[in-house]
Amino acid sequence: MRGRAHLTDRAAPDARLALLIAIAAAGVIALLWHGPIPQSASYHAFADQRSLFGIPNGSNTLSNLPFLLVGVAGLVALRRGVPGGGLPALRAAYLAFFLGATLLFPGSAWYHLAPSNHTLVWDRLPMTIAFMAFFAIILGEHVNPRLGARLLLPLLGVGGASVLAWWLSDDGTGGDLRLYVLVQYLPMLLIPVIVLAYPPARRPTGYVWALVAAYAIAKLFELLDGPVLSATGIVSGHALKHLVAAAGMLVFLIGLFRRRASPLMLP
């Protein structure tokens, strides 16, 4: 197994790295070329603005509760160490991921109670914690555990800075979202490439793919906010976005217990 692991790990490393760099560079250049991306005022005009149990925008507000449940469950699971489906070296990254999920409940709920650019900051900050922590996890589980652990804090810093940069640039014209867009979407372009190109430390990788798919479906529901509400008459696309994203996090949490060490990575 040792020889097979080394062979897989060394297969065209320069090509893999070059591909990742090319994707990242293309994303950065595209955003620089695009110019400032202001936050549209219409973003806050969600399709479902009905109150529920006396709570403004009740469906969009209360649909954040699963984030709290999954986040707390993950933090409890990691309280005494990392389950067998994770890597001990990445415990801080797993904790940051589920902390981000936990903080999404108050942050996103606060935003949806009174949608505005000022409250949106508290929705986006915990999202960047989860995004960047997950990216560090993928780097650690597929490329090198020490790399993922060492990049966690810098990645979290960039994530937080992306939200603050947008907020500070907002002088009433919507600010500039380019760095936030990069933080939100570039990892989701790089993660599938990393998972396919590098051998996993834990298998099966289906739990990772499920979270990536859940994120993609959640973004689709976000875009179809109004049409989903029109079709169902009950729930909006934005509320389903929250539920699907939380479900993806739950699947990843389950994977921390059910995944096993990859034969390719055994010493």
Distant-in-sequence, close-in-space partners of 247: CB < 8 Å, separation ≥ 6: 66, 214
Q: Give residue 175's region: left, alpha or beta (phi > 0; psi -120 to 50).
A: left
- Position 8 scores a pLDDT of 45
- Position 48 scores a pLDDT of 96
What pTM was estimated for this model as a whole?
0.91
Give the DSSP per-residue string, 63-111. TTHHHHHHHHHHHHHTTTS--TTS-GGGHHHHHHHHHHHHHHHHHHHHH
pLDDT at 153 over 90: yes
- Position 14 scores a pLDDT of 77
Query: In this structure, are residues 172 and 118 in contact, taking their beta carbons and an 8 Å threshold?
Result: no
Domains of the chain: 2-265 (1.20.1070)
Distant-in-sequence, close-in-space partners of 246: CB < 8 Å, separation ≥ 6: 66, 67, 69, 70, 101
Which pair of tokens denotes residue 261? 């060490």
Which pair of tokens denotes residue 118? 């000022």
Q: Is 203 helix (H, G, I), strand (E, B) or coil?
A: strand
- Reported as a single tens digit per residue, the pLDDT across 28-50 is 999 889 889 999 989 999 999 99
Q: Assign 264 a pLDDT band (cuts: 50, 70, 90).
A: low
- Reported as a single tens digit per residue, the pLDDT across 87-111 is 999 999 999 999 999 999 999 999 9
- pLDDT, average across residues 132-161: 97
